Amino acid sequence: MFSNIFLIPLGPWEIIAILLVILVFFGGRKIPELARGLGKGIREFNSAKASIEEEIRDGMKVEEKKKISEKNENG
C-alpha cells in the first residue's frame, strides 16, 4: 500500500517504525491536523489535475473541429 509511494519497497516493520517516529515527533494532538492538511492538499491537487485534463480535452476538440472544417472546405 505505502510501498508504491516510495522508490524503495517498505515492509510492515518499516511502516510501523515511520508511524511511531511521526507520533513521537508531532504528538497525538497534531496528527489529525496534519491529516486534515494532507487531505486538503490532495483534494486541491486532484482538482487542479482535473481542470488541466479538461482544458486539454477542450483543446483537442477545438483542433479536431478545425481539421474537419478544413477537410470539408478542401474536399
Query: In a 3-state reduction of DSSP, which class is residue 8?
Result: coil
Angle separating helix axes 12-26 and 31-74, nearest 10 degrees: 120
Q: For the chain, what are the domain ranges?
A: 2-74
- Could you give the CA distance from residue 4 to residue 39 in angstroms, rounded to a whole number? 18
- Could you give the CA distance from residue 54 to residue 31 in angstroms, rounded to a whole number? 34
Q: What's the one-letter identity of residue 43? A: R
Give tens-digit pLDDT for 27-49.
888 888 888 999 999 999 999 99
C-alpha cell at 6: 516510495
Give me the chain's average pLDDT, please.
Answer: 84
Q: Is 14 exposed, middle or buried (0-12, 13-18, 19+ CB in 10 A)?
A: middle
The answer to whether the predicted template modeling score (pTM) of the entire model surpasses 0.85 is: no
